Structure 1
Amino acid sequence: MRLFSTDSIEDAVEMFRSSDKDVLEVENDQGHVIGYFTKSDLNEAVQKGRLHEPIGQLISMEVDEHVRSSIQHTEGKEYIKLIESHVFSDIIDSLYDGVFITDGRGIPVKVNKAYERITDITADKVIGFHMSDLVKAGFYSKSASMEVIKSKWPVTVMQTLRNDRKIIVSGTPIFNRKREILYVINSVRDITELLRLKLEIEDLQQLKLLRQSSRSMIEERNGEEFIAVSEAAVKLYAQAERVAKTDAKVLLNGESGVGKTLIAKYIHENSNRQGGAFLELNCGAFPASLIEAELFGYEAGAFTGALTKGKKGLFEVADNGTLFLDEIGDLPLEVQVKLLKVIEEQAFIPVGGSKVKKINVRIIAATNKDLKGLVKEGRFREDLYYRLNVVPIYIPPLRHRLKDLLPLIQYYLNFFNTQYQCQKEISIEALDFLHQYDWPGNIRELRNIIERLVVLTIHDTIDVKDLPEEIKPAKTEYFLFPEEILPLKQAVDILERELITKALKRYKTTRKAAEVLKVSQSAIVQKMKKWNQND
């Protein structure tokens, strides 16, 4: 029952009669407490004949300390009854998250079963002891409840337990009407479980799709991996498979290390030339004279140092197969002319020779450079560019196809475990760090790092401490979980600095960083100058 400001004396008499209270709270129409009506107020109203006046005109805005104590005592008794009730225990024990309740002094009064599971700390070890004593005893590194009692504000902290397990604790105060804390309700979550759930939702579910879906696959063909889970990768392999059925020229474009050779092999192995040779030449790895000899071969005595019997070139060896020309943008101009002739006529003359040799070779080219820009600069022939660029295929960087990351990590982990006869695993925490890394070197960098971890890690579980320093993000625990409440301006400055630093590290230039952060370039430059002066 509630007493409203518009109620009559008769209503108040009925409420006093049905309860053992000496004071009643009076609420307005919006449900807000606006004052108190005591038995003394009732007696005074009767004596003065004010029986027909609304309660709102008779209420007291303040009550004496004895009555206040009675109110607080009543509230406390009601909370204790609630906490001790079987219904309440059943409710909080049904929660997946841990619940840890202390009173306003910092003494634990209730924990649920999930808390005992997460922390491995049973109720009898903590209930009735003060939180400061439990911290001193090594049960916890710090107390969220004491932080709440100190600040009278909700607090989230990271706790380290006596078994070195880390948990996230969010404490919320429960106040009485004097703004005194009656209880602190702490919600507890295990960081390891959070990371595991995150990865299961975002990545491990993709592994299930990987096994179930005919379009999403992990295949091993001749020791090479073809992994497509993300939408970008599925689209890429579908495009490669379509073009593989033809002899159309393909120009692969993408950052260094994205797997251009892998896609070229995939096209070859899905074409009608799969029975022929697949040969690769890095056009940037040789000087002009040697590239010409490698491509077209040479006759005996063609030049000083040549083999006496001559040598077949890659075009001749790859007859009825595929020749993959990587880093085509580095091909010297004089060799570009000869390559154009081979593409047009499917014929060539070896270095130092006089006879034309006919071939049937499919050419796939690749570059990480802007060939159109090179054409404008006169460093790449325009006619060759259009001959090669019949079917352009863009290979996205690994940071744009993160759903492929976990399957790739697992593939390379299995691969190098087999190669080095190991049984290494990667912890959930380490996987989360790998997942957050930008991978500027793409799949090549991923392969190298997984191999390094398998070779160098002494124990069977690869953990965060084993990861290379460049993969570990900058420490931001202080900002994310401050033990003290920061001034708002200082917190904003810290966040600005973190975001700008991260953007500059990823995009290299202030112009691009400003574009991503949606601020002016001059704003970033000015902030950097300010930081340099302060530092």
Structure 2
Amino acid sequence: MSIEEMILHKIIETSNNNITITDGNGIILYTNNTHWAVYEGETQSYIGKSIYDLEELGILSPSITALVLKEKQPAQIMQNTKTGKIIMSTAFPIFDEKGEIIRVISYAIDQTEIRLLQEQYEQLEERVKGYQKQVEELKEKEDLFYRSKEMQQISKTIKRVANTDATVLFLGESGVGKSMFARKLHTLSHRDKGPFIEVNCSTIPPSLFESEIFGYEAGAFTGAQKSGKQGLIEQAHNGTLFLDEIGELPLSMQAKLLKVLQEKKLMRIGSSKEQQLDFRLITATNKNLEEMVQSGDFRLDLYYRLNVIPLLIPPLRVRKEDISFLLNHFSRKINRKYKTSKKLHQATFEILLSYKWPGNVRELENLIERLILTTEDSMIRPSSLPSYMIGQASFDHENTSILDQFLLESSDLKALLERVEKWMMLKASKQCKSTYEMARYLGISQPSVIRKLKKYKEDSINI
């Protein structure tokens, strides 16, 4: 053995890498014995053996050297061993002057642990995604968008009665969020895995009401589907039936609905067989049902059946704290939806706070979406608002004149900013009940509010 061969042998023997060198026929010339431990689980000497024989025995599956000899170019493959390991093999050919392969050098790296870690990481990633989804679902269950005491009380009542089957009647103007609260009640209940069937009683023509609500058998009437049709009440079985605008329910249907509610049994049109049903009833209306009872437009017995837990949702105009919160909430939500980052200018915010919101939460959400989609600037200024909204907003003219006076009295920017800041702190302290509300109102942190209050304490700002 020449000195060069001795040096090469020692390099391969002592290398941390798994190295094998074959001749042009695939006969192993040099290798470190530890190399083969990854294939057979024990150290053996394979010098002088053919890689084709080892491949046939399943020790190399497949052989990277055989692939290089066949294709006459470098290659990289993943091998599976008898011991269950995963090996990444890379091999390079060496050519003589005639272009014939005289040697193939291959390297084997055990990837088993790396693959295992990768699989564990992917599994962990899936679990994290699952946890995130659960957190979002829990958050969705808990989030009701309010700040006012009235809405907090409604939320507490909803949580208390959610896991009962008591009938809940939501009262309030159009757009206050009765449907949202009904869905939230269903989500918090033990029926949350069952269907939530929402029926708007004002949108179904009286002539079709009975067939839509109670369903019908095949051939029950002219024009009926051949297979019959399941009614909306049936669809709510094991879930929740939400009858919105219950005040629009035809008087002729009220007696039949009352019977279903009392007995939890239903008979389709054209059928002689009753079905036993299990559902929770939630209703909502913007009408005064008591007055409708007095006028004979609503059955007294049905009213008593529905009026088990009445919840009156106040209009948005009487709960200013919620207006501020909802403006910020829907701005964030719609910006996320359309991948934008538009903000309400403070003057715009003030106008929206003063606006009466006859359409309540529905009007507010629709307006914010419209402003974010149609305003070109990243800052939404009062000029983007509908003219009727600016006209109806109740401005504080005294404060406006104070701002004008500030501008007339001083051209010193630092002094002017300090006066405006002091004025805003005073205004916030009058409108808000705590430093946390002031922070939300002013768009700054609560510690900043406390620092500024201390700064202007001598100027009669009191909380």
Q: TM-score, normalised by structure 1?
A: 0.47
Does the 8 A contact of 1:219 with 1:227 survive in 2?
A: no
Are 1:462 and 2:380 matched, yes or no? yes
Q: 1:407 offset after TM fit, Å?
A: 2.2
Does the 8 A contact of 2:267 with 2:275 survive in 1?
A: yes
2:209 to 288, 291, 294: 291
Match of 2:278 in 1: 360
2:145 alignment partner, SS class? strand
What are the within-5 Å matches in structure 2 for residues 336-355 of structure 1? 336-355=254-273
Instruction: Write the distance in 2 (CA, Å) between the matches of 1:386 and 1:414.
Output: 42
Are 1:249 and 2:167 matched, yes or no? yes
In structure 2, the CA distance between the partners of 1:403 and 1:385, relative to structure 1 (3 Å rule), is same
1:323 alignment partner, SS class? strand
Instruction: Write the distance in 1 (CA, Å) between the matches of 2:192 and 2:395.
Output: 52
Q: Which moved more, 1:291-300 or 1:449-458?
A: 291-300
In structure 2, the CA distance between the partners of 1:252 and 1:294, relative to structure 1 (3 Å rule), is same
Match of 1:266 in 2: 184
Deviations 1:329-385 (A, max 9, x none): 110011111100011000011122221011001111111111011011111011000
In structure 2, the CA distance between the partners of 1:226 and 1:248, relative to structure 1 (3 Å rule), is same
2:222 to 298, 304, 307: 304
What are the within-5 Å matches in structure 2 for residues 9-158 of structure 1? none
Match of 1:329 in 2: 247
Q: 1:306 offset after TM fit, Å?
A: 2.0
In structure 2, the CA distance between the partners of 1:288 and 1:477, relative to structure 1 (3 Å rule), is closer
Does the 8 A contact of 1:423 with 1:460 survive in 2?
A: yes
Does the 8 A contact of 2:351 with 2:395 survive in 1?
A: no
1:444 alignment partner, SS class? helix
Are 1:229 and 2:165 matched, yes or no? no
Match of 1:66 in 2: none
Match of 1:442 in 2: 360
Match of 1:97 in 2: none
1:272 alignment partner, SS class? coil
Aligned length: 267
Instruction: Write the distance in 2 (CA, Å) between the matches of 1:287 and 1:349.
Output: 21
Does the 8 A contact of 2:354 with 2:395 survive in 1?
A: no
- Structure 2, unaligned runs of 5 or more: 1-136, 406-463
1:392 to 294, 302, 310: 310
2:213 alignment partner, SS class? helix
Q: 1:243 offset after TM fit, Å?
A: 1.5
Letter matched to residue 363 of structure 1: L
Q: 1:433 offset after TM fit, Å?
A: 0.9
Q: 1:419 offset after TM fit, Å?
A: 2.5
Are 1:375 and 2:375 matched, yes or no? no
1:401 to 319, 325, 342: 319
Letter matched to residue 161 of structure 2: V
In structure 2, the CA distance between the partners of 1:477 and 1:439, relative to structure 1 (3 Å rule), is closer
Q: 1:264 offset after TM fit, Å?
A: 0.7
Does the 8 A contact of 1:430 with 1:462 survive in 2?
A: yes
Instruction: Write the distance in 2 (CA, Å) between the matches of 1:472 and 1:397.
Output: 20
1:429 to 347, 371, 391: 347
Q: 1:477 offset after TM fit, Å?
A: 8.7
**RMSD over aligned Cα atoms:** 2.5
Q: 1:282 offset after TM fit, Å?
A: 0.7
Instruction: Write the distance in 2 (CA, Å) between the matches of 1:426 and 1:376.
Output: 47
Letter matched to residue 334 of structure 2: F
Instruction: Write the distance in 1 (CA, Å) between the matches of 2:397 and 2:268.
Output: 67
Instruction: Write the distance in 2 (CA, Å) between the matches of 1:448 and 1:466.
Output: 14
What are the within-5 Å matches in structure 2 for residues 498-509 of structure 1? none
Letter matched to residue 322 of structure 2: D
Q: Which moved more, 1:420-429 or 1:441-450?
A: 420-429
Q: 1:219 offset after TM fit, Å?
A: 7.6
In structure 2, the CA distance between the partners of 1:295 and 1:481, relative to structure 1 (3 Å rule), is same
Letter matched to residue 158 of structure 2: A
In structure 2, the CA distance between the partners of 1:301 and 1:273, relative to structure 1 (3 Å rule), is same
In structure 2, the CA distance between the partners of 1:435 and 1:309, relative to structure 1 (3 Å rule), is same
In structure 2, the CA distance between the partners of 1:478 and 1:364, relative to structure 1 (3 Å rule), is closer
- Structure 1, unaligned runs of 5 or more: 1-217, 485-535
Q: TM-score, normalised by structure 2?
A: 0.54
1:247 alignment partner, SS class? coil
Match of 2:429 in 1: none
Does the 8 A contact of 1:284 with 1:327 survive in 2?
A: yes
Q: 1:446 offset after TM fit, Å?
A: 0.5
Instruction: Write the distance in 2 (CA, Å) between the matches of 1:271 and 1:478.
Output: 49
In structure 2, the CA distance between the partners of 1:270 and 1:478, relative to structure 1 (3 Å rule), is closer
Q: 1:470 offset after TM fit, Å?
A: 2.3
Letter matched to residue 315 of structure 1: I
Q: 1:225 offset after TM fit, Å?
A: 5.7
Does the 8 A contact of 1:220 with 1:226 survive in 2?
A: no
2:158 to 226, 240, 243: 240
Does the 8 A contact of 1:288 with 1:335 survive in 2?
A: no
